[in-house]
Amino acid sequence: MTQHVLILCTHNSARSVLAEGMLNHWAHKLGRDVQAHSAGSAPSGRINPFAIEALNRAGIDTVACRSKSWDEFSRDGAPPLSIVITVCDSAAAETCPVFFGGAGGAPVKVHWGYPDPSHADGGDDGKRRAFELTRQAIGYRMLQLLALPLATMNPKDLQDSLAEIGRN
């Protein structure tokens, strides 16, 4: 059974899109039955071009990427979510969305914060570096997530394992 993972950030334009792309990329490469989705509580309606560039440079197809509302995942017919990950930077006093809904019961929730690469200093080159470093950091955590026996873990063990990944 496919494990559906929803990655949330406020605007669904940078970090959550990077995470969706990296998790789907690694799940496909590793033959894991995991499907990533991303959304925002207040979606911007556009993907940051530096996020698209970072994913494309890593060989990830971004044609289907779009900024969307988390409402899509609370409606009838939405995929049953196993995991919800927030990626906003609470350390920077950024408001993180809190997801209550979802089809198929209560998903395991975890916070893996990343600074917003959209606010990096150094002009376009600085933003490119920040997006690439964020993509790599997110990709590493997604590999750790995919190493877990997701289909057989109880919610408490999954919660503990995901929290541990977030601390590394």
pLDDT for 168: 83
Catalytic residue among 58, 96, 137, 153: 96
pLDDT for 92: 43
Can you give the CATH number for the domain in which 95 is found?
A: 3.40.50.2300
Does residue 166 lie in a domain region?
A: no
Question: How many percent of the chain have pLDDT more than 70?
Answer: 90
Q: Catalytic: 65? A: no
Does residue 168 lie in a domain region?
A: no
DSSP 56: H
Q: Which amino acid appears at position 1 of this protein?
A: M
pLDDT digits (tens, 9 = 90+) for 19-76: 999 999 999 999 999 999 999 988 999 999 999 999 999 999 999 899 999 889 988 8
pTM of the model: 0.92
Catalytic residue among 54, 88, 145, 148: 88
Does residue 164 lie in a domain region?
A: no
Average pLDDT over residues 124-145: 97
Residues 143, 148: Cα–Cα separation, whole Å: 9
Q: Where does the pLDDT of residue 96 fall: very low under 50, low under 70, confident under 90, or very high at 90 and above? A: low
Structural domains of the chain, count? 1
Expressed as residue numbers, the domain containing 129 is 3-157
Residues 135, 85: Cα–Cα separation, whole Å: 15
Q: Catalytic: 96? A: yes
pLDDT for 57: 97
